[in-house]
Chain A
Amino acid sequence: MSVRQTATAVRGRYQPRISLWWWLTKPSYLLFVLRELSSVFIAWFIVFLLLFVRAVYQGEGQYERFLDFAANPFVVFVNLVALAFVLLHTVTWFVLTPQALPLHLRGRRVPGGLIIASQYVGWLVVSAFVFWLVVGW
Chain B
Amino acid sequence: MRRRRPVEPLVWLLFSGGGVVTAILVPVLLVLLGLAFPLGWIDPPPYEHIHAVLGHWIARIVLLGLCVLGFVHWAHRFRYTLHEGLKLQRLDAQISLLCYGLALIGSVWAVYILLFTG
Contacts and interface: CB of A to CB of B under 8 A. Distances in A.
A20 B86 CA distance: 6
A137 B83 CA distance: 45
Contact of A50 (B38, B67, B80): B67
Interface residues of B, number: 56
A48 B32 CA distance: 12
A50 B45 contact: no
Which secondary structure dominates where chain A touches chain B? helix
Contact of B67 (A49, A67, A89, A100): A49
Q: Does more than half of chain B's interface fall in helix, strand or loop, or is it mixed? A: helix
Contacts of B85: 23, 33, 36
Contacts of A5: 1-2
B71 interface: yes
A127 B28 contact: yes
B67 A130 contact: no
B28 A130 contact: yes
Contacts, number: 163
Interface in A1-49: 1, 4-5, 8-9, 18, 20, 23, 33, 36-40, 42-43, 45-49
A43 B74 contact: yes
Interface of B: 1-2, 16, 19-20, 22-35, 37-39, 42, 44-47, 49-51, 53-55, 63, 66-67, 70-71, 73-74, 76-78, 80-81, 85-87, 89, 106, 109-110, 113-114, 117-118
26 contacts: A4-B89, A33-B85, A36-B77, A39-B77, A39-B78, A43-B70, A43-B74, A48-B33, A50-B113, A53-B63, A54-B113, A56-B50, A57-B51, A57-B113, A57-B117, A70-B34, A75-B38, A83-B31, A87-B27, A89-B19, A94-B23, A97-B20, A127-B27, A131-B32, A134-B32, A135-B45
Given A57-B113, A93-B20, A135-B42, 7 more contacts: A5-B2, A36-B80, A49-B29, A75-B38, A76-B38, A80-B34, A122-B24
